[in-house]
Amino acid sequence: MTSPARDAAPHGTHTLDEGVLAAQLGLAKTVIDEASLANSVARFAAQKIVLPTFAQLADPSLIPTSWTAGVDKDAADPRNLFRVHWYNDLAGDRVGVPDHVVLPPSLTGVESPIIAVFGDRFPMITAHKVLAAYSCFVPRVITGQFDPTRHRAVWPSTGNYARGGIAISRLMGSRGVAVLPAGMSKERFDWLDRWVTDPSDVVRTPGTESNVKEIYDACNEMAKDPGNFILNQFCEFGNHVGHYEVTGRALAHVFEHVRANGHSGLRLAAFTSATGSAGTIAAGDRLKDLYGTRIVAVEALECPTMLENGFGEHNIQGIGDKHIPLIHNVMNTDVVVAISDRATDELDVLFNTPAGQKYLADRQGAGPDLIDALTHFGFSAICNVLAAIKTAKMLGLGADDAIITIATDGSVLYPSEREKTLTRRFGDDFGAIDAAEVFSEHLGHVGTDSMIDCTERDRNRIFNLGYYTWVEQQGTPLEVFEARRSQSFWRSVRAHAPVWDGLIDEFNSRVAKAG
């Protein structure tokens, strides 16, 4: 049973400061600075930059295919802004339904169809975080808050969002700065080195995945320079809006496609999403609105923040950052699941080595298409699938209960991490017996441990934990923090999408006239 809508904030009703919403949280509805907007118009006209609306990214059939014809999907070409959606194939061509795989019971061990939608089809960074970056950035540009002639766009992240931000910055005629922990995968830094305009535009902070406060500290120091504009995905509500509008619609389309092709009685029982910035999980809010889908928030067992108010270090890169993001609609979350990075590390080896793939084919009956699909699962994708399996077991779901999730990125971002796992855990000799043991431990015997079927008290506990980061450390007004308890607040946030689309259309018209 899904959680009921919650429209009354238990701590009272507060009048929110529109200036704070616009400046601190990215929720402006009108032009804030006409002079900065004029500078953006001139820059975009000179570089022939046109912006897609959220409606177009949600339904790319509204975008003429000629606009991206002949454009390399990985090029720093502004026309690739019109590929920042789920309807690409690996070559960057348009598809009618987002690429996905329905994982069979022989792999998952549960009857429920688990649908995974591929994020590595997104352009430039082969990860869906480029959508989050666009969703955070474009409202700041079209309202005149960000000025490309005097601002650097600063992108705090544990990897993919920072890369997405650098890509979006270049496509939108701006200079970007990536801020991320030094311990993230080598492949992330290799990509950044190719895309930044200056080596100083990659800022390495101490630690690894869980060290987000260190990122915030670096950004707070950088913010003292008025030329730096911080685009913090953890508190930019454009991140929530973009995923609710674009990702939510795409997932609904995939589900309807699966249901129409052999699963007529299927219901969408759950959506699992690892919470990094808590942007992607906003798609679950739309799925709940449409289907009553339960929203499952996932984190690393080694850093059990939602589960146990805990802390720690882990290697599921992109998730579980030792705090509760401001844009996480906690009071609409139904289930919390924790997954160990031991499982994601070792299944990555199983899915991407000859011995592992041979075991899957010979002993588990996996066909070539499934084996290929599994190579498009990065660490957080594997985490999301394991969470879906645990959810199916805990909720007692059956063959008519689908679970949908996202493969945020693919294994192409983790060869250096795989080498570490092979050396540390398998002595660089991963064979058939190792493959069997990994499958048995992490797929053959998935339990329902480290889970919460949330009560109202659980939600309030998790919600309250965010106070220490956002009110005490980052200076978010208490009224804004408290307002997030009510679903009416989140509906008001999502109402910005059509407003921003109108501003995008006006902006594009001015650019066309200036050109």
Q: What value does the mean pLDDT take over residues 478-492?
A: 97
CA 415 to chain centre: 21
Residue 298's SS3 state is strand
pLDDT of residue 13: 38
Question: Burial code of 478-506, b = ≥16 C-beta within 10 A, e = fewer?
Answer: ebbbbbbbbbebbeebbebbebbbebbee
Cβ neighbours of residue 234 closer than 8 Å, sequence gap 6 or more: 156, 212, 277, 278, 321, 323, 325, 326, 327
Helices (H), 51-185: 54-58, 105-108, 129-142, 160-171
pLDDT of residue 1: 41
Provide the token pair at 37. Answer: 């907007």
Q: Please give the Cα distance from 243 to 282 (Å, whole number).
A: 6
pLDDT single digits (tens) 42-58: 999 999 999 999 999 99
Provide the token pair at 92. Answer: 């960057």
pLDDT-derived band at 324, boundaries 50, 70, 90:
very high
**Inter-residue contact 124 to 409 (CB < 8 Å):** no
pLDDT of residue 141: 98
Query: What percent of the chain is helix, strand and coil (3-state, nearest 5)?
Result: 50, 10, 40
Residue 289's SS3 state is helix
pLDDT beyond 50 at 2: no
Tell me the Ramachandran region of residue 441: left when phi exceeds 0, alpha when psi lies from -120 to 50, beta otherwise: alpha
Tally of CB atoms within 10 A around 303? 24
pLDDT single digits (tens) 7-41: 544 443 346 899 999 999 999 999 999 999 999 99
pLDDT single digits (tens) 79-129: 999 999 999 999 999 999 999 999 999 999 999 999 999 999 999 999 999
pLDDT-derived band at 355, boundaries 50, 70, 90:
very high
Residue 387's SS3 state is helix
Amino acid at 242: G
pLDDT of residue 7: 56
**Inter-residue contact 242 to 134 (CB < 8 Å):** yes
Q: What is the pTM of this model?
A: 0.95
Tally of CB atoms within 10 A around 226? 8
In the block, residue with structure tokens 């975080």: 129
Rounded alpha-carbon distances, angstroms, from residue 350 to 146, 375, 432, 433, 506: 45, 10, 10, 11, 51
pLDDT single digits (tens) 294-320: 999 999 999 999 999 999 988 888 886
Provide the token pair at 14. Answer: 């507060």
Question: For all residues of the chain together, what is the average pLDDT?
Answer: 94
Q: What value does the mean pLDDT take over residues 248-255?
A: 98
pLDDT of residue 333: 98
Rounded alpha-carbon distances, angstroms, from residue 364 to 160, 178, 259, 371: 32, 42, 26, 11
pLDDT of residue 262: 82
pLDDT of residue 322: 86
